[in-house]
Every structure is written in C-alpha cells, then in structure tokens.
Chain A
Amino acid sequence: ETGVTQTPRHLVMGMTNKKSLKCEQHLGHNAMYWYKQSAKKPLELMFVYNFKEQTENNSVPSRFSPECPNSSHLFLHLHTLQPEDSALYLCASSTWTSGMATQYFGPGTRLLVL
C-alpha cells in the first residue's frame, strides 16, 4: 500500500530552526494521525484528525504544532525542538468509523535534532 506519502524522508535541524513535515494520503480516508517512534520505545500517538478536526492531542509539547487543511493533507510544524525529539515520525490515515478501520502508514520522516 503506497497511498500515504511523507516528505521529507530525512531531516536534520538545529534547535532554533523551524521546519514542517508533510503527509498526504490518496486513499480517500477521512482520519489522519501523527505518531512518534523513538528507539526502543513503543509507537506513540501524537495527534488525531477526524474530518479535519483535531480529536486527540496526546499531551504533546507545544513545540509540535499540527495542521490539517483538508482530509488529504496533514502537516507537523516543528520549532525549537530538543535533541530528544529525534525520532521517526510516522503519518497514518484511516476511514473514520466506529468500527475497526485499518490505519495505513506512510514511510516516515527520520528527524535528527542537533
């Protein structure tokens, strides 16, 4: 399944930089997600958007700012990050139902904060 794309695939940034991660899904889904995957830790859900509205903010620091302009696009704006924010950031999408919709993931952005 290659219906979810993420750019850039790799990103190196300083702690004072501002950058944005982009996610786009071509599956006609209406829910999108940001996950953080750090080394040796379980996948952590960061944000959930359902029909462009944020329905979940899993206690994420304000230096991470999501934006969902429409059901196909999701951004993660980054500013004044810390080295411990270095991780793989995964975007996913699914059909929003009360049932068991499968989440499909993008290839991820590997972020290194110096």
Chain B
Amino acid sequence: AQKITQTQPGMFVQEKEAVTLDCTYDTSDPSYGLFWYKQPSSGEMIFLIYQGSYDQQNATEGRYSLNFQKARKSANLVISASQLGDSAMYFCAMREAGGERALRDDKIIFGKGTRLHILP
C-alpha cells in the first residue's frame, strides 16, 4: 500500500490564483513529519514546508501553507497568489519517527508528485 498518495498528476492554474495540492498519507506511527518539496525543471529538490504530527497549528512559510487534517490523514499544500515561477513538480513526503528504528532507519517516503503549471 502506498504511504503517500498524491492524486493529481497534473494541474493548470491561472496566475495569481490560489492553488491546493492534495496529499494523503498512511501511517500507524503516532509521531511523524510531513514535508513538501518543489522540483523545478532544473532538477533540484527544494524544501518548502514541514508539519509535525504533534504540531497544534498548521505550518506556514510565506506563500506556502500546509492544511493539516490529522484525522483525515491529509496534508494539502496551499500556495497563495500563484506566480509563473511556481510551475514545477511538487512532492509530498513523510518521515516516521519509528522509535528505536528511527535511529537506524532514517527514511523519507515520497509521493509520485503533482506537476503544476501556472498560466499567464
């Protein structure tokens, strides 16, 4: 079973509109972290935002915010006022704390990504 599911393979959005990229996850670990990365065509994976499972508030970083709904196991990325430079692949990822295993087994699991196209 997939641990990270991104259901939108591609999206087209008009410039200046807000964008929501979907991500659902599956874990039985009570302690985990959720990440979003952006990958432009150049290939570099750029860290955007992080949400911890025990964080009380939704994470925000500039125009990026994470809509964290723990009961639904959902961690959608919201980009406000989209810009042409936001066109890229976006990956949702999860890291499980795993107790002792985490000391040995440091893994981030990535989703398949969503390709976002911002239209002028």
Question: Interface residue tally of chain B, by bracket?
Answer: 20 to 34
B46 / chain A contacts, CB cutoff of 8 Å = 1, 105
Are B107 and A102 neighbours in the complex by a CB distance under 8 Å? no
Contact for A102 among B47, B97, B111, B113, CB less than 8 A: B47
Query: A98-B102, A105-B37 are known contacts. Are A43 and B91 too (CB-CB below 8 A)?
Result: yes
Number of A-B contacts (CB under 8 A): 61
B contact patch SS = mixed
Name the CB-closest residue of B to A10.
B43
Q: Considering the complex of A and B, which 6 residue pairs feature the smallest CB-CB distances, nearest first?
A: A100-B33, A105-B45, A43-B110, A108-B43, A107-B44, A98-B102
Question: 15 other contacts beyond A1-B47, A45-B108, A92-B45, with CB at 8 A cut-off?
Answer: A42-B110, A43-B45, A50-B106, A55-B106, A56-B105, A88-B43, A96-B106, A98-B103, A100-B97, A102-B35, A105-B37, A105-B46, A106-B44, A107-B42, A108-B45
Interface residues of A (CB under 8 A from B): 1, 31, 41-43, 45, 48, 50, 55-56, 88, 90, 92, 94, 96, 98-100, 102-108, 110
B-to-A contact residues, CB < 8 Å: 4, 32-33, 35, 37, 42-47, 50, 52, 91, 95, 97, 102-108, 110-113
